[in-house]
């Protein structure tokens, strides 16, 4: 899983360098897929879930502005002032890594920078609670408290999750909850924590492409994610270079 996590981290580092006005989301997807294959890994998302009527058609989720998660890459051209959430997963030797980041496109407003700072900060707050002996609700409560204290909202319909031989495993780790409740965390558990934050109302909907999730009020959204392993002390982040 460390190997898969490092591949995911490499992809996101390359995304940071590649995101710019004039670049298409399809070009970002092609770059990500090339990096994954070069590292003898397989994209986790492409064709997911197997046997579905509408399997995901790309290697990354590329969600722009009001698109919260699961945006499908294509011919959309990024423009100055946009933000883009890039979510990527890779399978190496049967084990998954999964992480996401929201990036500014060129110069963006202070309000957008605040949204990105708070979303990433909430991820860090959640990771700080991911230690043996705590419960999943401690993570959830920390994320929710951090986000709402700064005037934003967390999504309720999509959650963090266990990860390993499958991309989505138990336990589910919502971005809201009550401390002291939920699954007890034990050393060696691997979890993908992923706060998804909305600048406006928390309600979302899925578009007709069966994948792209957008804010109902079309306000901006952000998404940060790391795959971690629970330890006796501070969690180890597997998707950080």
Q: Which residues contact 230 (CB under 8 A, 6 or more apart)?
A: 130, 131, 132, 185, 186, 187, 188, 189, 190, 191
Name 181's Cβ contacts closer than 8 Å, sequence gap at least 6: 135, 136, 137
Note the pLDDT of residue 148. Answer: 98
- DSSP secondary structure string for all residues of 145-183: HHHHHTT-EE-SS--EEE-SSSSSEEEEE-SS--TT-SP
Share of the chain above pLDDT 70, in %: 100
Cβ(60)–Cβ(32) below 8 Å: yes
Residue in 115, 131, 112, 96 with CA at minimum distance from that of residue 195: 115
Instruction: Give the pLDDT confidence score for residue 102 in this predicted structure.
Output: 98
Topology of the domain comprising 2-237: Creatine Amidinohydrolase (3.90.230)
Widest CA span in the chain: 48
Strands 169-173, 204-206: pairing is: unpaired
The pLDDT score that the predictor gives to residue 51 is 94
SS3 72: coil
Burial class (CB in 10 A: 0-12, 13-18, 19+), 164: middle
The pLDDT tens digits of the residues spanning 33-82 come to 999 999 999 999 999 999 999 999 999 999 999 999 999 999 999 999 99
H, E, C per residue of 3-26: HHHHHHHHHHHHHHHHCCCCCEHH
Of 31, 34, 40, residue with least CA distance to 3: 40
- Contact criterion met (CB below 8 Å) for 85 and 223: yes
What one-character-per-residue DSSP string does 171-238 give?
EEE-SS--TT-SPBP-TT-EEEE--EEESS-S-EEE-TTSS-EEETT---EEE-BEEEE-BSSSPEET
Report, as ranges of residue numbers, the positions in the chain whose pLDDT lies below 70.
none
- Supply the pLDDT for residue 211: 98
Structure tokens at 130: 């991911």
pLDDT score at 113? 98
pLDDT of residue 99: 98
């Amino acid at each position: 899983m460390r190997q898969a996590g490092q591949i995911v981290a490499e992809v996101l580092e390359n995304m940071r360098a590649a995101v710019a006005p004039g670049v298409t989301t399809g070009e970002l997807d092609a770059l990500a897929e090339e990096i994954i294959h070069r590292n003898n890994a397989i994209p986790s998302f492409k064709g997911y879930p197997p046997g579905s009527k509408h399997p995901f058609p790309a290697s990354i989720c590329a969600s722009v502005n009001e698109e919260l998660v699961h945006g499908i890459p294509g011919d959309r051209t990024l423009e100055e002032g946009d933000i883009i959430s890039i979510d990527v997963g890779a399978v190496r030797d049967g084990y998954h890594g999964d992480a996401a980041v929201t990036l500014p496109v060129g110069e963006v407003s202070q309000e957008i920078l605040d949204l990105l700072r708070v979303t990433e900060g909430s991820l860090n707050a959640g990771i700080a609670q991911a230690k043996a002996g705590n419960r999943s609700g401690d993570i959830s409560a920390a994320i929710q408290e951090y986000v709402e204290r700064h005037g934003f909202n967390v999504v309720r319909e999509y959650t963090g999750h266990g990860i390993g031989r499958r991309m989505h495993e138990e336990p589910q780790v919502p971005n809201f909850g009550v401390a002291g409740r939920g699954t007890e965390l034990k050393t060696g558990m691997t979890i993908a924590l992923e706060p998804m934050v909305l600048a406006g109302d928390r309600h979302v909907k899925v578009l007709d492409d069966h994948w792209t999730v957008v804010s109902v009020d079309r306000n901006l959204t952000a998404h940060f994610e790391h795959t971690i392993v629970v330890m006796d002390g501070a969690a180890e982040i597997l998707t950080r270079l």
